[in-house]
Amino acid sequence: MVLFGVVFMAVPDVILSSGYGLFSGQSWSSLVTSSPRSAEWIVLFGRMYGVHVMVIAILVIAITLMSFRKGEHWSWYTLLIANTFGFVLDIAAQIYMGETAIPILNAVFLLLVYVALGISAKDILSKKST
């Protein structure tokens, strides 16, 4: 996810152009030609989305490497809730925009998160809270 955030910050128009085409039925180049300021705003919005994705990914990695490894209950619940909301809302948005491959990939990632959390659940949640 950190890499995705970096790519989205670096070249948002490359990533946004296919989504824009699916959602609007128009090409990205036609938007750039007809309304360059709108295109600039969308690119800026895309860059900021990339920043948010990268920051959230770094926070999830930090929680995983620090608190989750120590077996702290709150970290298990935080990872469960954050990943569920993050992936489910992204899947819904991508389906709404007409994407097909990305929601499937996100669903696979979410299932992997659930498997990892399921494997660790007994060890972490059965410990007495500190």
Q: Same domain for 63 and 83? A: no
Q: Same domain for 79 and 130? A: yes
Q: Containing H/E element for 127?
A: none
Q: CA geometry: angle at 22 spanning 86 and 87, to 5°?
A: 10
Answer yes or no: is pLDDT of 14 > 90: no
Domain that holds residue 62: 1-69
Q: Same domain for 10 and 48? A: yes
* pLDDT in the model for residue 12: 84
Answer yes or no: is pLDDT of 100 > 80: yes
Q: Same domain for 40 and 96? A: no
Alpha helices in 11-100 (DSSP H): 12-24, 28-34, 36-63, 69-70, 73-97
Confidence of residue 130 (pLDDT cuts 50, 70, 90): low
Structural domains counted in the chain = 2
Q: What is the pLDDT of residues 21-43, one digit of tens each?
A: 888 889 999 999 999 999 999 99
Q: Same domain for 57 and 5? A: yes
Q: Same domain for 51 and 92? A: no
Find the range with the poorest average confidence among 8-17, 82-91, 109-118: 8-17
Mean pLDDT of 41-63: 91
Q: Same domain for 28 and 64? A: yes
Q: Same domain for 62 and 106? A: no
* pLDDT in the model for residue 13: 83
Q: Same domain for 53 and 83? A: no
Find the range with the poorest average confidence among 4-13, 84-93, 111-120: 4-13
Is there a contact between 46 and 15 (Cβ–Cβ < 8 Å)?
yes
Could you count the other beta carbons within 10 Å of the beta carbon of residue 88? 13
The token pair that represents 89 in the structure block: 């809302």
